[in-house]
Structure 1
């Protein structure tokens, strides 16, 4: 079973954005060596804890320091941008790195109202326009816009031989339906909202329209993974991710804290409940524990592929976690 990585270029407490990008570069090289199928980078804005704000630029760099792993966006926030420009950005990347580029697209607004205003220069589009925007991106990529479309006469350059793969990132049946209707792959965000996966994947299959570009449906899910030699070690490492998620939701310092700085007994009852809730978004434990839980998730959702994200403080431990995950993939 293919297994892949999503990296948000998290910034550990006491480190810099520059160091976060160094870690992302090191991680993509390791991912390629370990046989991971894809490596995606995210788009986040106005946050102190995540360095990745421009996936297209970071993708170009990561593709240039690797040779075979697929590189993608997880994902471009389409409602903030021109579908024509998004298509051209990714067609350029595909021409530079043929057969290796994924266009992962999200419906997220990217942040609060002020961030959306800044991203769109004051010309916000309704989030309900996402299906139309997705259709136009696909149309520009493979020249399938209807003849009566106002942009049908223009071309998205370059007109290269290969095309980027298109994926829709979704949390519900709505995103799954959009992916299916537009012949895209569907990546379910289990690490954000795990409860609707079964219904979303079913809706995707029910809605899927085959195309020359994408003849069959392809489903994947992204999940937090923390894997260490023992369950106890993994639980300790995951404390930094637990606290980081709490901080993100409170809007406080969003750099990833060291696990030794965290005392769970100081969490309020509400915070403890939130951590228990967030743990449903994650797979944490020894290789045997993680393998069992990933297999259960794959079978429950009927997935073709899994993608892991690991936002813990210790980068060396993060690399080890993915080494174990790569070993597990061969037995899923």
Structure 2
């Protein structure tokens, strides 16, 4: 990386990325109750943000109606910031997102984040079902983003006619907009617009460092942000011992194995060994996809976090933990908060 002053883990805000997992044998209702419970604990443990992701046509993820789940979590907490990690803007009319997040910000002022992505967050049949008359494939994301931002803050140019359509609630509200990405596209757009940027290195690590370099080197200050601000996504599974943590992580490995094989399903319980479940090629591919992960005892995870922080110079870290058993998932996030503090 370019010149930098070393960052300290204890000074780095930590946030939660919740995929609202529906585990085998449970329901979406169970997953949503667990999400609120985790958010309430995360707030008490000092996490800064609690973000939920938009995914569709996935039997193992309960956060498809992302704005509704954000409202559910925000209503059950008091101070933690709640937002989207992210809303897949090409799936929606920008006006609808402006109204939804304007409503959330009106209900929970100063606590809502709007993270935006340009991927579908689903397979092609689901994308077609969602978009219907919309022909967007993500290529007009910059135009959609400009339209969305215009609803929040209509142009005040002289001789500029007032907008025909207004977002109420939404207009005039300062809702932080983050761009999310797993390549250089959103990094460059975020730098041009002076917006904070979050990279999805928890599943797509290959372009992380080039994207961060491009974002920082080309950043233009804006009314929203004076200097570059980066959040790095990663997986973290913390347990009392390395062995236990690696056992718990087999649920995550099985999820990615299903993705590699073109399957979807609920989050599976951990297994004693992945041997016999994946072949050598699949194992190599999945471990590479998940290389921005910290799995182990508190000591092991702390060392890995410090390594990632040194490598990326992240301003914040946001952590996903796909753990089958809810109390064990809570414990992992508690241990993580303790080792950082």
Q: Verify same fold: TM over 0.5.
A: yes
- Aligned equivalent of 1:181: 192
1:245 deviation in Å?
A: 1.2
Distance 1:207 1:141, change over 3 A: farther
| 8 Å CA contact retained: 1:229, 1:286 | yes
- Aligned equivalent of 1:48: 59
- Aligned equivalent of 1:163: 174
| 8 Å CA contact retained: 2:195, 2:222 | no
RMSD of aligned Cα (Å) = 2.1
- Aligned equivalent of 2:111: 100
Give distance in 2, aligned partners of 1:145 and 1:294: 45
1:112 deviation in Å?
A: 2.9
Give distance in 2, aligned partners of 1:145 and 1:319: 47
| 8 Å CA contact retained: 1:145, 1:152 | no
- Aligned equivalent of 2:308: 297
Tell me the secondary structure at the aligned position of residue 226 of structure 1.
Answer: strand
Distance 1:194 1:210, change over 3 A: same
Give distance in 1, aligned partners of 2:111 and 2:216: 25
Tell me the secondary structure at the aligned position of residue 139 of structure 2.
Answer: helix
- Aligned equivalent of 2:205: 194
1:4 deviation in Å?
A: 0.1
1:151 deviation in Å?
A: 7.6
Q: Which runs of 5+ in 1 are unaligned?
A: none
1:111 deviation in Å?
A: 2.5
| 8 Å CA contact retained: 1:32, 1:66 | yes
Structure (1 or 2) with the greater helix fraction: 1
1:266 deviation in Å?
A: 4.1
| 8 Å CA contact retained: 2:247, 2:272 | no
Give distance in 2, aligned partners of 1:239 and 1:194: 19
| 8 Å CA contact retained: 1:182, 1:209 | yes
- Aligned equivalent of 2:243: 232
Name which of 68, 76, 81 aligns with 1:70: 81
Report 1:184-223 matches (<5 A).
184-223=195-234
| 8 Å CA contact retained: 2:198, 2:232 | yes
Tell me the secondary structure at the aligned position of residue 75 of structure 1.
Answer: strand
Question: Does residue 308 of structure 1 match 2:319?
Answer: yes
Name which of 110, 114, 131 aligns with 2:142: 131
Tell me the secondary structure at the aligned position of residue 206 of structure 2.
Answer: helix
Q: Which runs of 5+ in 2 are unaligned?
A: 1-11
- Aligned equivalent of 1:276: 287
Distance 1:239 1:87, change over 3 A: same
Deviates more, 1:60-69 or 1:162-171: 162-171
Question: Does residue 85 of structure 1 match 2:89?
Answer: no
Distance 1:34 1:248, change over 3 A: same
Tell me the secondary structure at the aligned position of residue 268 of structure 2.
Answer: coil
Name which of 328, 334, 340 aligns with 1:317: 328
Name which of 296, 299, 303 aligns with 1:285: 296
| 8 Å CA contact retained: 2:202, 2:290 | no
TM-score in terms of structure 2 length: 0.90
